[in-house]
Amino acid sequence: MIQGIIFDMDGVLCDSEPFITQAAVALFRERHGVAVQGDDFLPFTGMGENRFLGGVAERYGVRLDLETDKAFTYARYLDLISGRLQPLSGVAAFIAQCRRMGWRLAVASSADRVKVDGNLAELGFGGTAFDAVIDGSQVARKKPAPDLFLLAAAQLGLDPAGCVVFEDAVAGVQAAGAAGMRAIGVRGAFDDARLRAAGAAATVNDLTEAAEALARLG
């Protein structure tokens, strides 16, 4: 029986990946003099900015100062999303439907708090839109470890088995499974085959299809 819905943020509630990738490319170019490609970041999507930046840095032999480099990246990112970041199709309607069903709602993102709060504010989902908001700084292990989702369930006061996760990344789907939750994959950076191979019970194009996918879960 479904009692709660947990949303990953990037790629589920909004498409912020182009903006954070653009900011990260600028970081390597302007602070380290290295020309990286947007696709270089794809293997590290959904793992938090330490790994998102760090994985590419390792590939190019760049030594990061995470504190200052992340500060640069986030400042550029928040400037880029201002007035431009929008909820993905079906997000607002599905959140309203979940509320009518009496389900508790959480966001669980591997991103740092500055990015999570910046996104939610830009999307108009601040305040009481969600019962819990979990960011990557609150856990020792990021996705694909289950820590983020387990903390979200705990803050919602729910058994993990009663929660369904909406995720667009392979690492996030794996994390949901490790937490004992069912996952519905949102196709985008990863296709149906890769999301299902990671353990997704179903996949959708976006949250306009979420209610139908939940109904099929039983």
Q: What is the pLDDT of residues 165-195, one digit of tens each?
A: 999 999 999 999 999 999 999 999 899 999 9
Cα–Cα distance for residue pair 192/212, rounded to 1 Å = 16
Cα–Cα distance for residue pair 2/56, rounded to 1 Å = 38
In the listed set 81, 113, 132, which residue is the last one of a domain according to the structure? 81
CATH code for the domain in which residue 107 is found? 3.40.50.1000
Q: Which of 139-143, 146-150, 210-214 has the lowest mean pLDDT?
A: 139-143
Q: Tell me, yes or no, whether 49 and 116 share the same domain.
A: no
For residue 84, how many other CB atoms are within 10 A of its CB? 11
Q: What is the pLDDT of residues 1-21, one digit of tens each?
A: 999 999 999 999 999 989 999
pLDDT band of 82, cuts 50, 70, 90: very high
**pLDDT (average), residues 75-82:** 98
- What residues are labeled active site? 8, 10
Q: Tell me, yes or no, whether 32 and 117 share the same domain.
A: no
Boundaries of domain holding 97: 4-15+86-217
Q: The pTM is what?
A: 0.89
Q: Tell me, yes or no, whether 181 and 112 share the same domain.
A: yes
In the listed set 54, 81, 108, which residue is the last one of a domain according to the structure? 81
Q: SS3 of 179, please?
A: coil
